[in-house]
Amino acid sequence: MQLTLWTYEGPPHIGAMRIATAMKGLHYVLHAPQGDTYADLLFTMIERRDARPPVTYTTFQARDLGGDTAELFKSAARSAYERFQPQAMIVGASCTAELIQDDPGGLAAALNLPCPVVPLELPAYQRKENWGASETFYQLVRALCTPHVAVPAVPRERAAGQKARCNVLGPTALGFRHKDDLREVLELLRRLDVEINVVAPLDATPHDLTRLGEADFNVVMYPEVAMQAAQWLLRNFRQPVVKTVPIGVGATREFIKEVAALSGADPAPLLNDPRARSPWYSKSVDSTYLTGKRVFIFGDATHAIAAARIAAKELGFEVVGLGTYSREFARDVRDAAKLYGIEALITDDYLEVEDKVAELHPELVLGTQMERHIAKRLGVPCAVISAPMHVQDFPARHAPQMGFEGANVMFDAWVHPLMMGLEEHLLHMFRGDFEFHDGAAPSHLGSAASRPEPAAAPLQAEVALLEPETTAPAAGLPTPLTGLPLAWTADAEKELKKIPFFVRGKAKRNTEAYAGQRGVSSITVETLYDAKAHFSR
């Protein structure tokens, strides 16, 4: 174990709570001490739900440890069924209760409750939240679907003219934009004329899970939560799995093609959806400012891999760092990192992440709320792309990450911090300009509205190269060598490209004038900065 101030994931019983809270008609009896009831606040305060999670805690105290804590659990389980009358129950222990080894599964089985009871074995000291959600969903699917499995397993027969039918798996409570993503995915499936069989776990009942075998294929929105269950359904019901996660324009188009291949639909009408506005910007002249921006990405595996692809292939960024805290998907992230010529960072220690960000000097960080705080301390723009999150990541508006609308939302969230950085840079660059000082009147009102100009602020090195060109030799410089050929070194040209494109030409001309007056035939990075220093005098 490691003592830490922040953690990317909670213990696995929090993952089980996310499944229970997402579903209807399911109740979770958690053997836990009094202090573990804090988890309710994750849903009522952060996700802003209007009801408590469907969880009954045994809430044993220190004095109970000398008595019969097993009887305390049985009493809580019996009362929970009588009060809530669920279709099914799950039972388990929190990390603290795990130490007293009361065996909630065996105790619940001895009660002979009149509903299915699924025991959860969640090793709190070896696994974490996402694994707990995945294991809980898998155990529920296996327990409730096994009675409907045919031997040998055969795929569903679809009659001629019958619509293809699919399950949508993965969205949970307390998930990063899960409800908004689900809305986008369901709309894509509807437009492909695919019938929805079951969406789970979000808003599904235990009875709904018994019908999972009636679909032709499964769409896995979040592999961290649903891939294990989908693989079980593949083995037992021969249901293919749509593995493409539609985050980004390119991935959304691949998702459409993959679904169309399974359903027999025509994908063409959806592939160039006019609602996808980010591709237009990527082709515009304004996007050249963003080309080559250095970006560091960290989050759960699904969102980190998708973000890297969007950054590199759709926005022209340079991915300088990629990592995840999802150790179960470390291989996938390492394979993705190889595409960008970098080594993946696999860690759940936020201090390691902070050191890596400081080392790489990115111009944009895409991460979790942890990285947002890190980036703020380091003065780097940041956009949140993954859990863990805070209340601000549950906006009142529709803000998906998936589908074409999700690509639009991400474009705004990622690009605007960089554009604001450009705006601040320009305000700093031109703060001494006669049209931009505080006393300047609006230019469209003409000279009649002019106000007295304050004294011009001293120009800094950043704006020195933008001073008006002069044909006369500067004081203290030799006479220019006429006809002298000027060449820029590769490093100097690279440095020159860092200057915004709309003033780059003037900066280049002034640098060449300075070099010519000095008798320099090869312009290096040093020449560029010498020219800046000269014109700033």
Identify the CA nearest to 39 among candidates 63, 9, 14, 70: 14
pLDDT score at 465: 55
Instruction: Please identify which residue in the block is written with the tokens 């939240």.
Output: 129
pLDDT score at 4: 59
36 is in an annotated binding site: yes
pLDDT score at 456: 42
pLDDT score at 160: 79
Query: 450 or 223: whose pLDDT is higher?
Result: 223
pTM recorded for the entire structure? 0.78
pLDDT score at 461: 42
Determine what percent of the chain is predicted with pLDDT higher than 90: 58
pLDDT score at 64: 66
pLDDT at 400 over 80: yes
Identify the CA nearest to 221 among candidates 284, 168, 297: 168
Q: Classify residue 301 by its DSSP letter.
A: H
Instruction: Enumerate domains of the chain plus CATH numbers.
Output: 12-127 (3.40.50.1980), 148-270 (3.40.50.1980), 277-418 (3.40.50.1980), 487-536 (1.10.8.550)
Residue 467 pLDDT class (50, 70, 90 cuts): low
- The sign one gets for the Cα dihedral 230, 231, 234, 235 is negative
Distance CA 114, CA 349 (A): 44
Q: Which of 193, 286, 355, 491 is catalytic?
A: 286
pLDDT at 163 over 70: yes
Question: pLDDT tens-digit profile of 209-231?
Answer: 999 999 999 999 999 999 999 99
Helix axes 350-360, 369-378, angle to 10 degrees: 40
User: Is 266 tagged catalytic?
Assistant: no
Determine what percent of the chain is predicted with pLDDT higher than 70: 84
421 is in an annotated binding site: yes
- Mean pLDDT calculated for residue range 370-377: 93
422 is in an annotated binding site: yes
pLDDT at 488 over 80: yes
pLDDT at 471 over 60: no
Encode 119-138 in three state secondary structure. ECCCCCCCCCHHHHHHHHHH
pLDDT at 5 over 70: no
The strand ranges marked E within 300-335 are: 318-324
Q: What is the mean pLDDT of the chain?
A: 85
Residue 116 pLDDT class (50, 70, 90 cuts): very high
pLDDT score at 124: 85
